[in-house]
Amino acid sequence: MPMSVTNEIKERLDIVEVISQYVPLKKAGRNFQGLCPFHNEKTPSFVVFPESQGWHCFGACSTGGDLFTFVMKRENLDFGEALKLLAAKAGVELRPRTGAPSADEQRLERLRAIISDAAIYYNYLLNRAAEAAIARDYLAQRGLTTETWETWQLGYAADSWDALKDRLVAKGYALEEIEEAGLVIRREDGSGCYDRFRGRLMIPIRDAQGRTSGFGARLLRDDPDRPQPKYINSPQTPLFDKSSVLYGLDMARKPIRDADLAVIVEGYMDVLMSHQVGVCNVVAGMGTALTEAQMRQIKRYSSNITLALDPDVAGDQATLRGLETARQAMERDWEPVFSPTGLLRQEGRLKAQLRIAALPGGLDPDELARQSVEGWKQVIADALPVIDYYLTLVSREEDLSSARGKDNAVARLAPLIREIASPIERSHYTQLLARMIQADERLVAQQIATRRAAQKRPFRDGRPRQDAETELRADFEGETGEPPVGERPVITVRRSAAGLEEHILGRLLARPDLLAALDAEMIRLHAPPLSIEDFAGAESQAVLTALQANPAPAGDWSAESVLAAMPEPLQDLGRALLEQAQAYPPLTEEKLIKDLGDALLRLRARTLDQQVRRLRFLILESQEAGSDEWRRYRELVQVYSMQMHHIARLAHSRTMTGALAQRTHP
């Protein structure tokens, strides 16, 4: 795979030397150890492996990677930013990619130019046109300064059928291009096109890189004879998909990272006023309900999210769906847990917090920020955990005097309580729920631990039988505390970990719409969804991040749009992965999802096997040094071994299901 720039940087920089600038490291055998920089600890669990140029935290983080992933995590950078930093440190020149852009790239750049020129024209009209006085008066009435107008490039669309169209045609753009950009509408009789936006305040909507991709437009005049919606947006285009856009993210990225908190509001004006008064970690969705694509974008910058909802809207079903989307999309730590019947399952604990900010007196964030900046900040600071919001909601919606109402309350709240990371907080909310439904706390705790809404029971069969086509025996040793010989995991791992990463990414580049299907398949198996932590290398993580941040919009989709969004050094890698996937034999969608699921399970087995091997060396080295650390490492080997055993059961279950399906449907 063409990773020459990143490989050159890794060859020039010593991972031990770079990490030592952040973490004091001590030699421990052939490796180096130190206190983990990503969580508080007293006993060193952070290990750097010079031979493989990797690192891993064997403590609370339970994560690792290469030089790039360390710098990205420590400095809170994305791949492109880490690449520039490390390239400068290594003295490697980042040259722009040569070669002619593809037809798709040229088409997208042309559409961006059209949208950009339209934004410039709208902004010019707002500042200069006499008829735009109504827009200027409206903005002044809302308390927005001219500096804010210019920072956000606000504009005005002339109340004309063809002002923008004529302007863009005069600049050399074809009518078909202007239509594809979503700026004009073709007449039903085919006699031409007319401007989509007329007599409206224009709000450019930019992607995370600050490139204008579409517009929001607010009506300024009410016409009883011709009623129109107050707000309209650009239609779906190759550049604009409102389900994956967060308004203001380009301006809020750094403040969100710095605060480690994203505040999501409902409207454009909420964002504009909040930024104007200095509360800049604020973005807005493009509708009431958050989407998975929007959550994928926001969690690149922080996993801590506060929703500032209008009290009148907070209870509607669209908002509840948005809350559920946000909760499902947030990162989790997955740990093996034994059920009351002795079965092993993976239990997810949220690694971040989702909170609800209650706005006082029915005020919008825009109005509150205008009245009192400190009041707006305090509302954000006082936001309640989402579980508290749901407790209030459930107590209002369910008849808690009836048996069915009590059962429904437990069913709705159990998944949220189960995901709380702190055992003390879980106990606290279990007590609250028990008191709320007036039931025995031990019974409620048991229900929370065992109830699995809309999921099948874990695989219950005995030891997975050996299958000639799906077999890999992990080379465990009895004295390190692994499962007994009869319980050793059996799972196929034919490819190297790097090969499996390439296989998964190539398949997803060819079919990005399968991302959601793969996550659903993993959840069905009681396994964690696909995460960047499944990949060891920063390059693979960055490709997955680009895929997740650029989900396939409805309708026609081109891989080039995802490739174009990647940092330039990764674009060649993305193309190579795509070409490799296109050379695979064609599969039905059902088989593609199974293929991806199998590959992900194998990759996880490889990763766990590597950690077990590393831990064996650490056990020997700590024993030779007379340290007691080997006992903790041995416990980790047991944990990883149980996880491998769980994966083996999943793989065997899928194999048996596939074989049965083949016999049933020849």
DSSP 75-134: HT--HHHHHHHHHHHHT---PPPPSPPPHHHHHHHHHHHHHHHHHHHHHHHHHH-GGGHH
- Do both 224 and 117 map to the same domain? yes
What is residue 352's predicted lDDT score, i.e. its pLDDT? 57
Q: Which band of pLDDT confidence, cut at 50, 70 and 90, is reported for residue 52?
A: confident
- Do both 302 and 203 map to the same domain? no
Question: Residue 471: inside a domain, yes or no?
Answer: no
- Do both 628 and 564 map to the same domain? yes
Considering only 334-338, 430-434, 634-638, which range has the smallest mean pLDDT?
Answer: 334-338
8 Å CB contact between 64 and 55: yes
- Do both 282 and 140 map to the same domain? no
8 Å CB contact between 441 and 399: no
DSSP 467: B
Q: Tell me the residue type at 514.
A: L
Q: Which band of pLDDT confidence, cut at 50, 70 and 90, is reported for residue 493?
A: very low
How far from 547 is each of 302, 355, 631, CA to CA, in Å? 18, 27, 41
Question: Is pLDDT above 70 for 321?
Answer: no
* Tens digits of residue pLDDT in 537-562: 788 888 888 887 765 454 445 677 77
| Radius of gyration of the chain from its Cα atoms, rounded to whole angstroms | 27
Extract the runs of DSSP E, i.e. beta strands, from 359-503: 384-385
Considering only 203-207, 423-427, 490-494, 638-642, which range has the smallest mean pLDDT?
Answer: 490-494
Considering only 5-14, 74-83, 90-99, which range has the smallest mean pLDDT?
Answer: 90-99
How far from 306 is each of 85, 245, 309, 538, CA to CA, in Å? 31, 17, 9, 29
* Tens digits of residue pLDDT in 344-402: 444 444 455 788 888 887 788 999 999 999 999 999 999 988 888 889 889 988 999 99
**354-358 and 305-309 beta bridge pairing:** parallel
- Do both 154 and 268 map to the same domain? no
Q: Which domain holds residue 133?
A: 112-240
Q: Distance between CA 607 and CA 625 in Å, rounded? A: 27
Q: Which band of pLDDT confidence, cut at 50, 70 and 90, is reported for residue 292?
A: confident
Contact residues for 585 (Cβ-Cβ < 8 A; gap 6+): none
Q: Of 586 and 22, which is predicted with more confidence?
A: 22
Question: Residue 413: inside a domain, yes or no?
Answer: yes
- Do both 363 and 504 map to the same domain? no
Question: Is pLDDT above 50 for 606?
Answer: yes
Q: Of 69 and 325, which is predicted with more confidence?
A: 69
8 Å CB contact between 481 and 637: yes
Question: Residue 165: inside a domain, yes or no?
Answer: yes
Q: What is the CATH number of the domain that holds 78?
A: 3.90.580.10
Question: Is pLDDT above 50 for 663?
Answer: no
Domain boundary among 90, 125, 155: 90
- Do both 506 and 419 map to the same domain? no
pLDDT, average across residues 46-59: 87
The C-alpha torsion from 593 through 599 and 600 to 603, rounded to 10°, is: 180
- Do both 69 and 218 map to the same domain? no
- Do both 447 and 519 map to the same domain? no
What is the total count of domains within the chain? 5
Q: How far is CA 65 from the centre of its chain?
A: 19
Question: Residue 274: inside a domain, yes or no?
Answer: yes
- Do both 648 and 573 map to the same domain? yes
Helix or strand run (H / E) with residue 157: strand 155-157
Question: Is pLDDT above 80 for 436?
Answer: yes
- Do both 487 and 617 map to the same domain? yes
Cβ neighbours, 10 Å, residue 307 = 23
Tell which residue, 325, 319, 253, has the closest CA to residue 296.
325
Question: Residue 215: inside a domain, yes or no?
Answer: yes
**231-233 and 200-206 beta bridge pairing:** unpaired
* Tens digits of residue pLDDT in 442-489: 999 988 887 654 333 322 233 332 322 232 233 222 333 333 333 333
Question: Residue 389: inside a domain, yes or no?
Answer: no
- Do both 235 and 258 map to the same domain? no
Question: Is pLDDT above 60 for 314?
Answer: no
Domain boundary among 210, 240, 270: 240
Question: Residue 133: inside a domain, yes or no?
Answer: yes
How far from 336 is each of 17, 205, 495, CA to CA, in Å? 35, 43, 26
* Tens digits of residue pLDDT in 165-184: 999 999 999 999 999 999 99
Q: Which band of pLDDT confidence, cut at 50, 70 and 90, is reported for residue 320?
A: low
